[in-house]
Amino acid sequence: MSPEWLRILWRSPGGRTGCLLIFLLGLLASFTSMGWLGQGWSAGSDISWGEVSASHWFGTNRLGQDIFDRALVATATAFRVGLLVTLGAIAIGACLGGLAGWRHDRWPDHCVMWLAGVLDSVPVFLLAAALAFAFGGGEAAMYLAMILSFWTTTARLVRAEVMRLRGQDFVLAARAIGLPGQQILRRHLLPNTMHLLLVQASLTFVAAIKTEVILSFLGIGLDDGVSLGLMLAEATQDILAGHLGNFLAASGCLFLLLLGLNLAADALQDGVDMKQAPS
Amino acid sequence: MLGRFLALRSFYALSLLLGVTLLTFALMVWFGPDQTYELIGRNSTPEQIDELRAELGYDQPFWNRYGHWLVELASGDLGLSNRSGESVSTLLRRALPVTAALVLPGFLLGNLLGLAAGLWAAWRRGSLWDRLILGASVTGLSLSFLVIIIALQLLLCTPYGLNWFPARGWRMDSLGAYLLHVTVPTLALLLVTLGYNTRFYRAVAAEELQRDHVRTALAYGATPLSLLSGPVLRNCLVPVITRVLYSIPLVLVSGSLLLETYFGIPGIGRVTFDAISSGDQPVLLAVVTLTAALFVVVQLLAEFACRLADPRGRLP
Amino acid sequence: MTACLQVRGLSVDIKGGQKHQPLVQGLDFDLPAGSLTGLVGASGSGKSLTALALLDLLDPRLFTYRADRLQLGDTDLLTLSARARRRLRGQGMAAIFQDPATALDPVSTIGRQLQRVVSRQLNLSTTDARSTVLQALQTVGFEDPQAIARSWPHELSGGMRQRIMIAHAHALRPRLLIADEPTTALDTGHKQRILAHLQKLQTEHGTAILLITHDLRLLPRLADQVLVMRGGRLVEQTQTRALFQTPQHEYSRQLLADLPPAVRKGPPPSAVRKQNALLTVEGLTVTHRSNKHRRITAVHGVSFELLEGEILGLTGVSGAGKSTLARTLLQLHSPDQGSIRLRGQELIGANKEQLQAARRAMQIVFQDPLTALSPRRSIYQLLQEPARHFGLDASYEHCVACLAAVELEADVLQRRPAAFSSGQRQRIALARALISDPALLIADETLSALDVSVQQRIVRLLQRLCRERHISLLLVCHDLALLQQLAHRTAVMQAGKLVELGPTRQLMDQPMHAHTRELVAAQLALDSTRPAALTRAVEP
């Protein structure tokens, strides 16, 4: 992929801030998953709700675990959830949306749109609940629910874009030399939906992280480890006792991550709009 | 022409209904955990177990059970709750007005304020106002619903903050009590939806404002207010109707789920949460199926409304 | 004569782009009251920006403008607030834009939107506004104004919608009307009517009109004076007659020289040497699915022959089925009936290899230069694609040779389509068609979207290619003057049927079919108004 999208991102102050935030948090998250940071997240101590100190930057939780380390691990978890769901949803959305747009108003289109219509009718929390019920809970149900719910938006957008491009002269020119459909789709149409996929990817990332938080809070998300949602669920207990460490750490990380992604999505979208404006 | 359109869309909606019922039934009943031991006491005889299994239909093939369940569903029989033994339809009928009263103010305000702010930002695109509104909405988008609820409760309902409103519970016996209980949830709902709504309406209006007919109207001396409240709003009607209608099921269920759990309000969301946490299959099944059905109906309504709003028959 | 509008030192800049040269630079001109002024220039010369600046409708996020003096009648526009400028729009100055398809509010009836404008501007009661609207509709030639007032914009044709735009002006009687390319999107016949209505506005209400156009041919009869713009500057400002007889500026002379010769004038193309048929079409019928349930016949029983080395013109009003016919030849639409034979080889129902060979021999170039090339690929990749697909020479040298044939250098290969102008893109599209060394080239309105000078360059290029490479050309084109310049024979289509086919000059001189006569008459009406000097001016 060309670094064109990076240039677009870097052009606006918002995009730059978003890039830096994602990069910084991503760096922390990858160091954590490599085992260089945040290793003390599960080790308890006897200082319940400990004060902020040199050894515990954000204090400790009820079990005496270090909140800073837990926030790091939770951020890494958020990246894992976001990446997995985004990759799945965008890949499915691009393929099925491209197919539906190319075979517009034929049976593949009807099938894809029907499936999207069915899945769109079940809100993601309820789908997650139903899947968790069917599979007896667990992470897999959460991932599956999010991917099943989130691919449809991307598919609809890609479909519309492919339909728009399909009528343009360069596609007719490709058809006129008898180029087979899947080659036209691969070489001329899908590359032109790249910008759209990037915007959708960042928005799906945001949706996935937000959904994880709520599902984990409701008890149908992650069942072990640490996540931002689990930390916030824990924080609801702490708050009644007046301890804000967990809440501030988790909501701060969550806010910075989401802000970075939203700013990046905005900057990308603006870049796309500007490019499409003259034609 | 219109009759044919109605028939086609209704047929499509029916096919969607079939799809969602099939999905929920397959997930929750066919693949779902065996309910026998949930319902029966510890010391039951094999005969009792067989009897119950026959009653639940576990000895029947898939399509028979699905058909049977559909017939029950169509006749309004949603079964009994595993947890309380109460009829699911009574449970839901009791919870629905509570949820409606809870989310309605936030839903209306969120859309109206969002529409106003969106139109204004689109008209003054690129101005300081626009950038402020956009910046505020990006911040709003980056806040999780859960964080907003926790923070608002901390600030408004606990001794650590202002402590003006009750932290939990629900009363609707007087207007004062209702306002006291509905304010904080409404604020939370507003904060979480306003960002999305404003951006959506701004994008829709900005696109409309770029069209030639707007430039023509300006060339013949239209004022900003007459333009925004007249042709621009009317041309935006299709996406606006679609969005408002589509968000009804989402707010009713997804929105209330967190609000009611957190504030201890006995509405649909609370019922759903209890069903999720206790594995109450009949209730969960009913909520999922009815929400999906509501969504299909809303989609159909949106199509008809758009058909009326736009003479060209432009569809969402 | 008093000046309706005085402009001194008008410049338009990109916002914050002080480093660049202004897009419009130091314009000085007067528009006398009750006169019609033509503003001509190539696309990108700043014509439309000038219009929007006069109206104060430039997008403030993108452009800024300044002027030393901007005066409408006695009113100094520069000292007015934005609100006061807005109040002036409507009765002080008004505008008509190019695209009639989008210029009207799609969700209000014609009557309602006209009434909205009229009652606001003239402070009329509903009934008075209504009668004013109906009268205005009648003035622009609608026989049943009631029915038009009740209809929706999408139910009307482009020409009708443009007339409704003029009805706005008739109802409000502005002192100045700016018409930005009002006829560009219309067929020749409709052009005539729109221009006649504009003129009526000028003579009946004394409205000063600024007619912005890239088509010099519209001006001789209509305009009192002409402003010629190039690269944001006014290069010539003179009386119309003077411009056409003794153009002063070199650029004006160039523009005049690049006009295609008037119909029935100018030299006909030399005759075709060979007489064997390359392409034979018999009884071709194509139906489209317009929406789910209706089928419309786009091409109906068309038969013709295209000789080797021949340039065959195909003309007709928009919607006549020209493009569908051209695309069907390439199997982009499948015909319902008929036969298409290329050198005797039947294409309908042909197997894969035969089709592949036929596609190699037939190449197409489309109308819209903006979408003709796949935006994400380099020119090199674009040229290689057909070569690879047909298993031909895809080497760098071959691509460079094809580019050279369309007068482009090798250095374009590494760039993407966005880097090129419309004319360059059309030439790249031509180079792409030449890669497979075709025997037949189909040009689907390739010339229509181009400025006159670029158009003439492509015309000469096409002539040379056909001569040197023995290519036959099927030229789909609605401009009879261009066809007369290029085509050996011309076919006329009307509502899907081919109504007349004959040597181009003969067809222009003695049209047989009623529809051909209409087309030629409409074109003649545009041409006949030229001063005799103009015909001389174009001869070398």
Measured CA to CA, the distance from residue A92 to residue C76 in angstroms comes to 61
pLDDT at C448 over 50: yes
Q: Answer whether residue B81 is part of any domain.
A: no
d(CA C243, CA C41) in angstroms, rounded, equals: 14
pLDDT of residue B103: 94
State the Cα–Cα distance between residues C436 and C429, nearest whole angstrom: 13
Least reliable range by pLDDT among A137-141, A154-158, B273-277:
A137-141
Buried b (16+ CB within 10 A) or exposed e, C421-443: ebbbbbbbbbbbbbbbbbbbbbb
What is the 3-state composition of chain C as percent helix, strand, coil, each rounded to the nearest 5?
A: 40, 25, 35
Give me the pLDDT at residue B1, please: 63
SS3 B160: coil
The number of folded domains in chain B is 1
Mean pLDDT of B58-86: 86
The torsion region of residue C349 among left (phi > 0), alpha (psi -120 to 50) and beta comes to left
B142 touches chain A (CB under 8 A): yes
- Looking at chain A, list the stretches that DSSP marks H as alpha helix, in order from N- to C-terminal side: 4-11, 13-33, 67-102, 107-120, 124-135, 139-166, 169-176, 181-184, 194-218, 228-240, 245-276
- The CB density around residue B194, as the number of other CB atoms within 10 Å, is 21
Interface test with A, best of B144, B155, B315 (most A CBs within 10 A): B144
Determine contact, residues C480/C315, Cβ cutoff 8 Å: yes
Nearest one of C478, C421, C456 to C183, comparing CA atoms: C478
* Phi/psi at C327 (5° precision): -75, -30
Q: Which two tokens stand for residue C517?
A: 């006569």
pLDDT of residue B31: 79
Q: Kindly state the tokens that stand for A71.
A: 């926030």
The whole-angstrom distance between C532's CA and the closest CA on chain A is: 40
Q: What is the dihedral of CA C105, C108, C111, C115, to 10 degrees?
A: -70
Q: Name the one residue in this structure whose structure tokens are 């005066």.
A: C71
Is residue C281 scored above 50 in pLDDT? yes
Q: Looking at the complex, does the CB of residue A115 fall below 8 Å from at least one CB of chain C? A: no
Domain that holds residue B181: 92-280
Of B222, B223, B235, the CB nearest to C106: B235
Question: Which region among A159-163, B96-100, B159-163 has the lowest average model confidence (pLDDT)?
Answer: B159-163
> Which one of C48, C88, C105 makes the best mutation probe of the B interface by having the most chain B beta carbons within 10 Å?
C105
Chain-chain contact of B231 with C88 (C-beta, under 8 angstroms):
no
Most confidently predicted of A216-225, C253-262, C453-462: C453-462
Task: Give residue B42's pLDDT band: very low, low, confident or very high (50, 70, 90).
Answer: low
- pLDDT exceeds cutoff 50 at A69: yes
List the single residue in A with minimal CA-CA distance to C360.
A177
**Does B224 map to a domain?**
yes
Mean of pLDDT values over C11-20? 76
Residue B161 placed within a domain: yes
Q: What percent of chain B has pLDDT over 70?
A: 97
- Distance from C-alpha of C332 to C-alpha of A140, rounded to nearest angstrom: 47
Taking residues B205-218, what's their average pLDDT? 89
Q: How far apart are CA B158 and CA B162, in angstroms?
A: 7
Question: Is the separation of the CB atoms in A254 and A78 below 8 Å?
Answer: yes
Choose between C290 and C241: higher pLDDT: C241
- Overall average pLDDT of the C203-218 stretch: 89
Query: CA nearest B196: which of B275, B110, B271?
Result: B110
Chains A, B: CB pairs < 8 Å: 137
- When scoring A105, A110, A170 by the number of chain C Cβ atoms within 10 A, the one with the most, hence best to mutate, is A170
**Closest Cα partner for C210 from C23, C3, C452?**
C3
CA distance A263 to chain B (A): 7
Q: Is the pLDDT of residue B76 over 70?
A: yes
Share of chain C above pLDDT 70, in %: 94
Model pLDDT, residue A157: 94
Facing A123 at nearest CB: one of B153, B262, B291: B291
Q: Using CB atoms, list chains with 3+ pairs below 8 Å to chain C.
A: A, B
- β-bridge partners, C306: C279
- The answer to whether the Cβ–Cβ distance between B212 and C97 falls below 8 Å is yes
Closest CA to C176 of C28, C63, C30: C30
What are the residues facing C304 on neighbouring strands?
Answer: C281
Question: Do the chains contact at C375 and A192, CB–CB below 8 Å?
Answer: yes
Nearest to B127 by CA among C54, C15, A267, C53: C15
Residue B202 has pLDDT above 90, yes or no: yes
CATH of the domain at B114: 1.10.3720.10
* Contact yes or no for B150 and A247 at CB 8 A: yes
Q: Name the minimum distance, in Å, from the CA of A279 to any CA of chain C.
A: 7
Mean pLDDT of chain A: 86
Q: Which residue has the tokens 């009994």?
A: B80
Contact list in A for residue C432 (CB cut-off 8 A) is: 173
The verdict on a CB contact (< 8 Å) between A178 and C356 is yes
Q: Which of C212-226, C262-276, C410-424, C513-527 has the lowest mean pLDDT?
A: C262-276
Do A169 and C359 count as a contact with CB atoms less than 8 A apart?
no
Q: Which of B15, B142, B272 sits opposite A258 (nearest CB)?
A: B142
Give the CA dihedral A141, A147, A148, A149, nearest 10 degrees: 110
The neighbours of chain B, by the rule of 3 or more Cβ pairs under 8 Å, are A, C
Contacts of A176 in chain C (CB under 8 A): 327, 330, 332, 359, 363-364
* CB–CB contact C105 B222 (8 Å): no
pLDDT digits (tens, 9 = 90+) for A165-176: 988 889 988 988
Cβ B103 vs Cβ B255: under 8 Å: yes
Cβ–Cβ gap C116/B309 under 8 Å:
no
Residue C539 pLDDT greater than 70, yes or no: no
Question: Per the domain annotation, does B192 fall within a domain?
Answer: yes
Which chain C positions have a beta carbon within 8 Å of A188's beta carbon? 374, 376-377
Q: Which amino acid is at B109?
A: L
Q: Buried b / exposed e across C374-386, counting CB within 10 Å, b at 16+?
A: bbbbbbbbbbbbb
Q: Is C259 exposed, middle or buried (0-12, 13-18, 19+ CB in 10 A)?
A: buried
What one-letter code names the amino acid at B69? W
In a domain, residue B69? The reply is: no
Torsion angle in degrees (nearest 10) through CA of A92, A97, A103, A106: 90
Please report whether residue B42 resides in a domain.
no
ipTM of this complex prediction, to 2 decimal places? 0.88
pLDDT of C246 over the 60 cut: yes
Q: In this structure, is residue B316 part of a structural domain? A: no
For residue A55, with 0-12 CB atoms within 10 Å meaning exposed, 13-18 middle and 19 or more buried, which class applies?
exposed
In this predicted structure, what is the pLDDT of residue C536?
44
Contacts of A173 in chain C (CB under 8 A): 364, 366, 372, 429, 432
Cβ C263 vs Cβ C299: under 8 Å:
no
- Confidence at C498, pLDDT banded by 50, 70, 90: very high
Q: Give the integer Cα–Cα distance in Å for C120 and B39.
A: 73
Q: What pTM does this model have?
A: 0.86
- Average of per-residue pLDDT across B51-56: 78
Cross-chain CB nearest to C373 (options A170, A176, A187) = A170
pLDDT over 90 at B109, yes or no: yes
On the question of pLDDT at B315 being above 50, the answer is no
For residue A150, give every residue at least 6 positions away whose Cβ sits within 8 Å of its Cβ, in sequence order, or none: A85, A89, A93, A124, A204, A207, A208
Cα–Cα distance for residue pair B260/B169, rounded to 1 Å: 9
Helix A4-11 to helix A13-33 angle, to the nearest 10 degrees? Answer: 120
**Binning pLDDT at 50, 70 and 90, where does residue A128 land?**
very high
Alpha-carbon dihedral sign for residues C211, C214, C215, C220: positive
Q: Measure the CA angle with vertex B35, ends B30 and B40; round to 5°.
A: 155
| Nearest CB neighbour to A131, from listed B27, B147, B261 | B27
Query: Could you tell me if A258 and A244 are in contact, meaning their C-beta atoms sit under 8 angstroms apart?
Result: no
Distance CA C404, CA C191 (A): 38
Give me the pLDDT at residue C1, please.
53
What's the rounded Cα separation, in Å, for the pair C117 and B231?
12
pLDDT tier at C19, thresholds 50, 70, 90: low
Short-list B123, B146, B121, CA closest to B135: B121
Looking at per-residue pLDDT, the higher value among C215 and C532 belongs to: C215
The answer to whether the CB of C205 falls within 8 A of the CB of C173 is: yes
The tokens for A126 are 């309820």
Kindly state whether residue B118 falls inside one of the protein's structural domains: yes
Residues of B in contact with C104 (CB under 8 A): 213, 216
